[in-house]
Structures are given as structure tokens and as C-alpha cells.
A and B are shown apart, each in its own frame.
Chain A
């Protein structure tokens, strides 16, 4: 257990330093949601979005999870590069804990995406967002948890596929429908019945609804409950799958 913790810290440190060396990497991820915030957000002010709170309280939670969704799902690309450099193999012949190779990486991703989420919320405050602090903090927690879950799956996939050409399209095939069907941009309250029903099969929908509830100060409702349950389930499954793949690959 102590080996797992110290090895996780070691791997986290390696990749955190790698991230800190590249300011570009730190800021680039926040660019897409920031563009939505600046050029899409203002279109929504004044529209009836069918829920509590103003348009910023609806949009910003969606953008936060969009940030986590895309940032985490594409995290695996780094493993593909490292596979080609031989770094993955070199680490696998050492006695380092196999789960630590995964956990150190996903914790780095969670830290990076929460930092980007903070930057995004600061920008949103300038644009006119007003939300309770506890809700905002809950939003960051959801970003961290979603990142841990999706980055685990992304790394597992990256370890399994033979080429980057297989990885990119697979990730796109997951990320785009997930974004559209979970009501990240506009709440599913606006959707016709069939679309609303369909979106209930997309786990991210519950996470978005929970963060939106947090942003209007509703911490004890069913939206928050379902969001937390879904986030926990998603994380348990994803980390289990991820560690299994990392263990097996190191056999």
C-alpha cells in the first residue's frame, strides 16, 4: 500500500513537472471552453432556458464538464507518444506499482483540469456569472472526478491500441455524442421528449444537472444525489478497468 502511494506520488511528480515545463499545455485546454464562454455565452442572456438561475449559471457548469470531458478523453495521447519513445516499456520493466503508473497520470490530469476550470470560472465571473461559492467548489470537485474516470479509460485505450490513427477517431466517436446528448451547451429541459429520454442514458447528463443544481445553491435535491451517485459509479468502473489494463500490460 505504501509502495502504491509513494509510486503514485513519484509518477504524479514526473508528469506534473512535465506539464509545468509547458505553459502552452497548461493554457491550451481552456481555450475551447473560453471561446464558448466569450462568443456563445452572451447569446443566451435573456433567453428562457427552463430552469433556475440565469444563463451563466446554466452555461458555465456545462463548459466546466466540457473541459473535463475533452481534456480527459484525449489524455491518452501522451501514452501513445511515450509508447513510441519506449518510456512505457522502460517503466514496465521496473518493479514500480502498476496501478501507480495509471493513478499518478490521472491525478496530474485532474490537477491540471481543475486549474483550467478555475481559470474558466474567473473569466466567467468577469462575464457576469454569479453563483454561491460552495456550488462553485462542488463544480471543481465534479471536474476532478470526471477527469479521473475518463482519463483512466483514455489511458487504458491508448495502451491497447496499436496506432494513434485508431485512438483519435475512437475518442471523437465518444466525446461528440456525449457532449451533445448530455445537454452540456443547453439544458435538456429544452429538448423534445425523445431527445430528453435519450439523454438520460448518457451518464454525463447527471453530472451536468448536479453541477447546475450546485450553481443555484440546491445541494440536497435529487439532481445532486443522482450526479454524485453517477460520478462515483463512473469513477469506480473506469479506474477498475484502467488499473486492470495497466496490470495486465505489465504482466
Chain B
């Protein structure tokens, strides 16, 4: 079991000794039991840190944000950041290391195991427990999730309440860390990706209809992009506003600016946006599932990432984020790469 007190102790020590400029972790949120991310800068505040099955967020996003924030400072704080990482989050750190976006010394990783379980999908749980009167959610035995509702303990089996990605996860402990809390238990995935299987079995027209239905709901709010720790580009191809337009920019210059995708949420543009997004995350997506969680329209965005994850493994034997020293998927090649599709 992960002992929260040990995480707090370590965080307190790091802050008191001034080794880190902050600890990014989970605290109990304003909505009762559901945890929210927090940046802890004072040793007195470390007692707010929690670790439970509601800690769904990928905190690596805030490492990226902090890095950008520090780059804007006149006198950046060079001290590292401590960050609580789950298995998937630690793989995200590996990808950032691989791409040299961050250096290893810039972060101190407080790895936590997911207790042979995972994190809770809020929607799934609230479907089973209509009341919002959940007082506490903790890990039980054998990956079960225990919710305390009105003083009564209710035990849920993992397949009922865990997030889909956790049911499909095969490495529910960090692969890179400085301090580790909990036990490393290799878990068998219940099914590596039933959603992708389902789509692959469809006929072409069915697939098109399926995606048309899903993607026609996309509002292009870009929440999936904002929440993704891998989408750290300062300028995005889908964002015409990122091209600087000054008072002196002539109409001709504006017309010449490359505009890859229209802003309006037309079906065709949504298709291109989501394909571009998926391709840009190929071999980088660690399946933290944040994009799907934040989608206000419940579009199954993970299915695109999962498909490319599967193909990267099938064609190139590549798994994202397992090794920070290995070259990334597209920065290398093998003589034996498949080319039967090329004429």
C-alpha cells in the first residue's frame, strides 16, 4: 500500500531543504472527495497532499507549463520540481526526456504505484452511486475500489468503476522515479483495447459513419490539446491565431499565410484536426487518457491514439515512454521496416 504519510514526509523534506522549488501533487478538491492537482510551495502545506483512486490527472502537464513559465522569467528558479507520478505519467516524463524537452535533473519524481488497480472514472462511479454524498474513495484489496457513502463502505470491482485506460494498462507502476511508494505488481490487462478491436471489425462504411457521428460533435474547444503533456508546441498548425498579425501586415501577406485547417467546426475540418493530432502523438502518446476525460462531448479520442499505439507495436515493435535513452519512433528506422504497401 502507498502510505500517503511517506509521500508527505519526502515532500516536506525536499521543500524544507530547499532542494525543489515546488511539489506538484494531488490535494482534496473543492468538490468533496475528488482530488485536484496542486503546486505546493510551503512545507506547511504538504499535509494537504493525498493519494487515492480519484487522482486521475496527468501532472506532467504542469511540469511542461512550469518549464514554459520559467522560460519567461527574468531570473528563472533553476531548482528542480518534485512531481507525483503514476505509471502512465512516468512514461510521459520518459517521452519528454527522449525529446530533450526537459533534462532529468529538472524533476524529482515521486513515483506511486496504482495499487494493482488504477484510477476511478468519475462518470462510471456516479452512474452506480447517484448521490454525490461520497465521503471517501480508497483502494481495497485485489484492485477493488472502496467508496465510503453516508458512513457505509461499498466495494466495487475494478471493471465497474476504473477508467478504461486503467483496465487496459499493463504497467501500473512508474518506469522512472527517484522515490517510489507502494509495491510494483505486474498486472494483467483485462483487454488491451476492446474499442479498437470493435472498430477494426467494422466494414469501411461503418467506420466512416461511426467517426462521422463522433467527430461531428467536436466543438474544437481544443481541451484535448490543452490537457495533453505532449502537445507542448508553442505554435500549433491548427491555430491560425498563432501566426503573428501586426498592424502593418498587409492583406496580401495575410492571404499568403499558410492556413492548414479552417477554424469552424465543420466535419471535414474536425476529421483533419483529429487525424493531425493523432499522428503528432504517434509513438509519443502514453495513454494517460486525459484527452478523453476532458472532452465535453465525450468523443472517444483515445481510440485514435490506441490504434496508432497498436500499429507502432505491430509494425515497429515500439512502445512509447518505456526508455528515455532509446530514439523516438519517427527519429529512427530499421532496414527491415515493412514496405509491402509501397509499390
Q: Does A pair with B? A: no
Q: Which residues of A contact B (CB under 8 A)?
A: none
